[in-house]
Amino acid sequence: MSSIGHHVRKTSKRTFPLESLLMPQVPRNNYLHFQEEKQRLHLKKFLIHRMFLVAKIPANTEKRDISEYYEQVFQSIVKHHLGELVTGLLLMYPTSILHILESSSGTLLRILLDYIDREKNDDEFLIQGMKIVVVSHNIPSRLFMQWQVSVIKVPVMYLDDVTQSQSLEEVITEFLTQTHKLGAYLFKTVKVGTKGPGDNLHQAVPELLLPEQIIKYLCKCEEFLDPATFIKMYNNPIYVTLDSEVVWPAPDHF
């Protein structure tokens, strides 16, 4: 009897390989994954909009002055719009910039208003001739997890000027395609809390960078609004004629 019990106890401790394979696996995330998920949840507290801006800057401009200007603007806005962080990308070419901003509508408007005030009152303001290329409203998620700055130190060589052979629609399509590809690349490679891509994008992914000639071309296009005109249209009321206000046939006036 004892031998049988001993045999049962011995076999009950055996672990079958199939059972170990079928056991549920508990996912193990590290602290970095936890911080990234916390950041994503924090950035979803309000409706997000994405704005694409282009502008001209004087040659040999100290790029640090431009990045410091925007950092000061963001810090000032946070005092009035708590939690509405600004994410995006600022690419600084030799004589122009491409700026992508993601935040709430109120925050984006305050950024534009500050630029309008600086441009109006400072004849030597570094950023000139800004144009709003595209505004994407209520985007489902951010493309950038933080605000990043990258200086394009060396010019990227291109065989021809596409702005001379393509229509405006084709240039805009290339503009949006390339910027989204670049954003997707940075989303995968840049971790939250790091300094960003640095100034070697022209070496790491030159095929994803727009040529500066496209940025200059968009700055000159009259089809795009400058911030002052955009704000004026934004503040103007929209008058909608309701069906109940339309009478047919038109009344006769005697």
Instruction: Label residues 70-109 b or e (16+ Cβ within 10 Å = b).
Output: beebbeebeeebeebbbbbbbbbbeebbbbbbbbbbebbb
pLDDT score for 254: 44
Asked whether the beta carbons of 211 and 91 are under 8 A apart, the reply is: no
pLDDT score for 124: 86
Query: Does residue 128 surpass a pLDDT of 90?
Result: yes
pLDDT score for 166: 86
Sorted by where each begins, the domain ranges of the chain are 44-234
4 — pLDDT class (breaks 50, 70, 90):
very low
Overall average pLDDT of the 123-140 stretch: 92
More confident residue, 10 or 146: 146
Query: Does residue 44 surpass a pLDDT of 90?
Result: no
- Angle (nearest 5°) at CA 51 between 208 and 191: 55
122 — pLDDT class (breaks 50, 70, 90):
confident
pLDDT score for 36: 57
Nearest-angstrom CA–CA distance, 199 and 214: 20
Residue 114: its H or E element: helix 105-121
Lowest mean pLDDT among 88-102, 123-137, 233-247: 233-247
pLDDT score for 66: 95
Overall average pLDDT of the 90-100 stretch: 95
Query: Does residue 189 surpass a pLDDT of 70?
Result: yes
Nearest-angstrom CA–CA distance, 104 and 50: 9
**Topology of domain 44-234, per CATH?**
Alpha-Beta Plaits (3.30.70)
Average pLDDT score over the chain: 80
